[in-house]
Amino acid sequence: MTAPRSDELVEVTVPQIWAGVDIGKEHHHCVVLDERGDRLLSRRILNDESALLELISDVLALSEDTLWAVDINHGGAALLIGLLLSHDQPMLYITGLAVHQASTAYRGQGKTDEKDAFVIADQARMRQDLGSLRPGDEIAVDLRTPTARRLDLVNDRTRQTNRLRAQLLEFFATLERALNLSKKGPVVLLTGYQVPALIRRSGTKRIGTWLKNRRVKNAATLAQTIVEAAKSQHTALPGETLAAAMVARIAKGVLAIDEELDKICAALNCTVADLLEAEPLAAADGEERETGQRAVGAEDGADRPVRPTPRTGQGRSRRSLPPN
């Protein structure tokens, strides 16, 4: 898009009505205001395509020059935003925090969906500093779901690792201190060896071979570490057998999480590498860089849009997902 020349006239559509939508999971609430702030429509709508299409039709019947405003730009708002985009309807985004702060200036102490929708519509009518919603970049949209899943998996692994440590501490405290369970090797070890007596009987050589067969790095060192830990405890504590079985089960669960994390990272490797090397989307000559527009689903405080432009330099190394 090029910037208009100073001697050109730019046609700007002035909204005649403003439709504010308070977004919910199952239902939304829409309030439509005219230029004087009078309420033309107030409706609770099911988050369903047919119901939303009916709402859009009814609002446009009031005026074709409608400006929509929402307080959420992802999740439960995705269907409504998609339908509005397909109908070429302009949209503004006002954050939930801004709605909450603005609502204190309106009469009525209670917080209701209808009141929030009214505040959203009225703020869109009066304010000129709200960013407009635009379709999100395809790469950013594609990244949102797997990166959210990756975050869930990382949190699950942390929880499972903490449970594994707590269970191991019940009958073999020395081994719990000796192992770094943030690494894969010690977790693999716990799927086969948990109790001191079994570790002592097996010995360093046998355990080292068992670990090598499972492609564990530094297998000999790890085997020696756990054998030394086993030699420091000769007492079998009550419930050791059942606790050891539980440790093996949790360790297998951690490995399953690691496997899924590896698959997600491998699938996103190229895309993330492109984003990490992306350059800012260059504005045309004379066009302001700060447009106030926001991509659908973009987080608050995000920088301006970027276009992935991978560099083709020699020796480019592979990239993985940035750490949380």
**Per-residue b/e over 192-214, b at no fewer than 16 CB within 10 Å?**
ebbbbeebeebebeebbebbeee
* Cα(296)–Cα(76) distance, integer angstroms: 12
Q: 158 and 228 share a domain?
A: yes
The CATH number covering residue 127 comes to 3.30.420.10
Q: 164 and 189 share a domain?
A: yes
Q: Is the pLDDT of residue 42 over 60?
A: yes
| Full-model pTM | 0.60
Assign 75 a pLDDT band (cuts: 50, 70, 90): confident
Highest mean pLDDT: which range of 105-109, 246-250, 257-261: 246-250
Q: Is the pLDDT of residue 272 over 60?
A: no
Q: Is the pLDDT of residue 277 over 90?
A: no
Q: 154 and 127 share a domain?
A: no
Q: Is the pLDDT of residue 130 over 60?
A: yes
Q: Is the pLDDT of residue 57 over 50?
A: yes
* Cα(123)–Cα(98) distance, integer angstroms: 9
Q: 58 and 159 share a domain?
A: no
Cα angle, residue 129 at apex, residues 286 and 124 outer, rounded to 5°: 130
Which pLDDT does position 30 carry in this prediction? Answer: 96
Tell which of 75, 107, 134 closes a domain: 134
Which pLDDT does position 91 carry in this prediction? Answer: 92
Q: What residue spans of the chain are helical by DSSP H?
A: 49-62, 78-86, 96-103, 113-126, 138-169, 173-178, 184-190, 196-213, 219-231, 240-276
Which pLDDT does position 15 carry in this prediction? Answer: 87
Q: 284 or 14, which is more confident? A: 14
Q: How many domains does the chain have?
A: 2
Q: Is the pLDDT of residue 264 over 80?
A: yes
Which pLDDT does position 148 carry in this prediction? Answer: 86
- Hey, what are 207's tokens? 């355990």
Q: 245 or 137, which is more confident? A: 245
Tell which of 116, 134, 152 closes a domain: 134
| Least confident stretch, 95-104, 202-211, 213-222 | 95-104
Long-range contacts of 297-303 (CB under 8 A, 24+ apart): 297/73, 297/74, 297/78, 297/136, 297/140, 297/141, 297/144, 298/73, 298/136, 298/140, 300/95
List residues bridging with 248 in a β-sheet. Answer: none
Which pLDDT does position 138 carry in this prediction? Answer: 61
Which pLDDT does position 274 carry in this prediction? Answer: 53
Domain limits at 112?
17-134
Q: What is the CA radius of gyration of the chain?
A: 29
Q: 157 and 285 share a domain?
A: yes
Per-residue pLDDT averaged across 110-131, rounded? Answer: 89
* Cα(269)–Cα(267) distance, integer angstroms: 6
Q: 110 and 31 share a domain?
A: yes
Q: 259 or 309, which is more confident? A: 259
Q: 305 and 176 share a domain?
A: yes
Number of neighbouring beta carbons within 10 Å of residue 64: 11
Per-residue pLDDT averaged across 207-213, rounded? Answer: 95
Per-residue pLDDT averaged across 81-90, rounded? Answer: 92
Tell which of 114, 134, 154 closes a domain: 134
How would you write 4-57 as a 3-class SS string? CCCCCCCCCCCCCEEEEEECCCCEEEEEEEECCCCEEEEEEEECCHHHHHHHHH
The chain-wide mean pLDDT, for the chain, equals 81
Assign 170 a pLDDT band (cuts: 50, 70, 90): very high
- Hey, what are 23's tokens? 């977004």
Per-residue pLDDT averaged across 151-176, rounded? Answer: 93
* Cα(289)–Cα(304) distance, integer angstroms: 8
Which pLDDT does position 171 carry in this prediction? Answer: 93
The SS3 of residue 236 is: coil
Q: Is the pLDDT of residue 323 over 50?
A: no
